[in-house]
Amino acid sequence: MQVALLTEQQKDLIVNQLFCIDSHFNPIQDINDNWVISLEEVNQCTKEEYNFVKTLPLIDYVPKPVIIP
């Protein structure tokens, strides 16, 4: 699965901001501690101030392992 790669500054700019009428950006970190957002967030973004997400590089998503105590 591919995701859009964010810098930390870009993550700080969009975290919890609306990308369309009723959905918020939710950046997460991958196994390499990269900040990423889903392609759904990118493709459904209708807020002009966040259109830069449509030009972000795409990378393969590798989740962090879940550690159960």
What does the pLDDT look like over 19-61, one tens digit per residue? 999 999 999 999 999 999 999 999 999 999 999 999 999 999 9
Using a 10 angstrom Cβ sphere, with 0-12 exposed, 13-18 middle and 19 or more buried, the burial of residue 37 is buried
Report the 3 state secondary structure along the chain: CEEEEECHHHHHHHCCCEEECCEECCCEECCCCCEEEEHHHHHCCCCHHHHHHHHCCEEECCCCCCCCC
Instruction: For residues 1 and 10, give the distance between their C-alpha atoms in angstroms, rounded to a whole number.
Output: 21
Question: Does 69 score more than 90 pLDDT?
Answer: no
What is the pTM (predicted TM-score) of this model?
0.91
